[in-house]
Amino acid sequence: MKSLSDRPVYLISDLHLDAGRESTIQLLLDFLRGPASRARALYILGDLFEAWIGDDAAGPMEDRVADALKSLSETGVELFFMAGNRDFLVGDDYCRRAGMRRIVEPFELDQTDPAAVLMHGDILCTDDHAYQRFRRKVRNPDWQRRVLSRPLWWRRILASLARSISRRQNRNKPEFIMDVNTDAVAETFARHDVEWLIHGHTHRPAIHDLEIDGKPCRRVVLGDWHAERGSAVRIDNGQVELLSLDRNAKDHIALTPLTPES
């Protein structure tokens, strides 16, 4: 058995867990029992859940996920949770139940070789002005406190309204607006003394080789999880790999590296 500090660190995002998508939930539970159980730490970079309207609305699916995460954390694997644009209302209560520590973006991961800056990714989509306005509003602690003090039925209506508005708006947005902005990426590298940026959100898994101010940088985009396929980044022994996560013939989790592209 490798000592804890020699073990890899895994990062995942955009699982969009929903009670109606059992195969993705199963894939996560198998990932937690498999590769993640041999890790030093697991970082969840947002959108673990498709929707979240308060810890008090957690049902059997959310309980199962919390139990599985908690058992993993009790074996010594450190768990970290960063909010995404769908589950930004996940609270301290749920994090405690799941054995996760909350981290806030941009988060500098300096316990690994190489170091990296971590984000969910939506904050980099600065071309989408309407979304950034919405984001500023709903990430405001006062707004969140007000909303969370409302009854559950009211929050359910608000969430379904927000979803249908966002669906309608996104249908009419050109592709580039939904992706990260080049200047926002360059600013992130300028502000943090790291060569790696890892984020999710756009569901466009890739490793982008960049040169910013004469310095080589890499932006790694995690993919989303759906049905029997997931995505993860592994940092191990000075290496960063973007992995596709599938079930192999023996019903084990298979991790296949994706190659860099520009």
Provide, rounded to whole angstroms, the least separation between the CB of residue 2 and Mn ion. Answer: 33
Give residue number: closest CB to Mn ion.
Answer: 201
Tell me, what amino acid is at 29?
Answer: L
Q: By C-beta, is 48 or 217 nearer to Mn ion?
A: 48
201 binds Mn ion (CB under 5 A): yes
Cβ 165 to Mn ion, closest distance in Å? 16
- Which token pair is 79? 């768990």
Span from 18-26, 50-58, 198-206, 241-249 in contact with Mn ion (CB under 5 A): 198-206
Q: How far apart are CA 27 and CA 232, in angstroms?
A: 12
Rounded CA separation 57/152 (Å): 7
Q: Tell me the C-alpha distance between 10 and 28, whole Å.
A: 13
Distant-in-sequence contacts of 66-72, Cβ < 8 A, 24+ apart: 66/94, 66/97, 66/98, 68/28, 68/29, 68/32, 68/33, 69/32, 69/98, 69/99, 69/100, 70/97, 70/98, 70/99, 71/32, 72/32, 72/36, 72/37, 72/42, 72/99
Q: In terms of CB distance, is 94 or 131 closer to Mn ion? A: 131
- Least distance CB 185 / Mn ion (angstroms): 16
Q: Which is nearer to Mn ion, 67 or 88 (CB)?
A: 88
Q: Which of 8, 84, 205, 230 binds Mn ion (CB under 5 A)?
A: 84
**Quick one: 203 or 234, whose CB is closer to Mn ion?**
203
Among the listed residues 85, 112, 188, 231, the single contact to Mn ion using CB under 5 A: 85
Q: Lay out the site mask for Mn ion across 140-169 (x = CB under 5 A, - = otherwise).
A: ------------------------------
Q: Which stretch binds Mn ion (CB under 5 A): 35-43, 81-89, 217-225, 252-260?
A: 81-89
Kindly state the number of chain residues that form the binding site for Mn ion, as judged by CB under 5 A: 4
Tokens read off for 239: 């290496």
Q: Copy the structure tokens of residue 125.
A: 């989509």
Residues 6+ away with beta carbon under 8 Å from 213: 186, 189, 190
- Binding residues (CB under 5 A) for Mn ion: these are 47, 84-85, 201
